[in-house]
Amino acid sequence: MPDTNSTDTNSTDTNSFVDAAPTDYLEPGETAIVDVDGTPVAIANTGEKWCAFQPMCPHQETPLGGVPLMRGTLLRCPEHGSVFDVSTGECVLPSNDGWSGNMHTFRTRVVDDVVQISLD
Ligand code: FES
């Protein structure tokens, strides 16, 4: 039986998941951009689970790959300071100009030491 450590709650649509990175690709607290079937996606290893989210800040498109996590799942955009929870996409602290939109996230799961992402 495959090793699954998943944030996916719908196990019936297994065909939508694509291999994204090996589980040793990032240390806990790190983020990066990976290619998912030609689409750049940001991934994060929270130490508890893997999260996937849009690679550019939804405020003004600042790249977010490589920005370290804070307090487990929080990521602070280096441009204007918006803080997002990468596990939900929620903006938990507005930018320094008062913007507070959320980011888009993607479902993840781990199968046989490979992080998989669904873009659906
Ligand atoms: S570009 Fe990220 S908060 Fe402005």
Report the CATH number at residue 90: 2.102.10.10
Q: Facing residues of 50 across strands?
A: 45
Is 45 contained in some domain? yes
Range of the domain at 92: 17-118
- pLDDT value of residue 119: 94
- pLDDT value of residue 14: 63
Pocket test for ligand 1, best of 31, 60, 67, 103 (most atoms within 8 A of CB): 60
Is 78 contained in some domain? yes
Is 42 contained in some domain? yes
> What is the distance in A from the centroid of ligand 1 to the CA of 76?
9
C-beta atoms surrounding 38 within 10 Å: 5
* Ligand 1 binding site (Cβ under 6 Å of any ligand atom): 57, 59-60, 62, 77, 79-80, 82, 95
Report angle CA 98, 101, 106 to the nearest 5 degrees: 150
**Which atom of ligand 1 is nearest the CA belonging to 61?**
1
Amino acid at 27: E
> Whole-angstrom Cα distance, residue 118 to residue 19?
9
> Whole-angstrom Cα distance, residue 47 to residue 114?
15
- pLDDT value of residue 4: 45
**Beta-strand (E) ranges in the chain?**
17-22, 31-36, 39-45, 50-53, 74-76, 83-85, 91-93, 105-111, 114-118
Q: Facing residues of 106 across strands?
A: 52
**Which atom of ligand 1 is nearest the CA belonging to 82?**
3
Is 3 contained in some domain? no
Straight-line distance from the first to the last Cα atom of the chain, in angstroms, rounded to the nearest whole number: 25
- pLDDT value of residue 13: 60
Domain count, the chain: 1
Is 2 contained in some domain? no
- pLDDT value of residue 15: 75
**Which atom of ligand 1 is nearest the CA belonging to 78?**
2
Is 41 contained in some domain? yes
> Whole-angstrom Cα distance, residue 41 to residue 20?
9
Is 30 contained in some domain? yes
> What is the distance in A from the centroid of ligand 1 to the CA of 35?
22
pLDDT in tens, the chain (120 residues): 444 444 544 445 667 999 999 999 999 999 999 999 999 999 999 999 999 999 999 999 999 999 999 999 999 999 999 999 999 999 999 999 999 999 999 999 999 999 999 998
Is 4 contained in some domain? no
* Residue nearest atom 4 of ligand 1, based on CA coordinates: 80
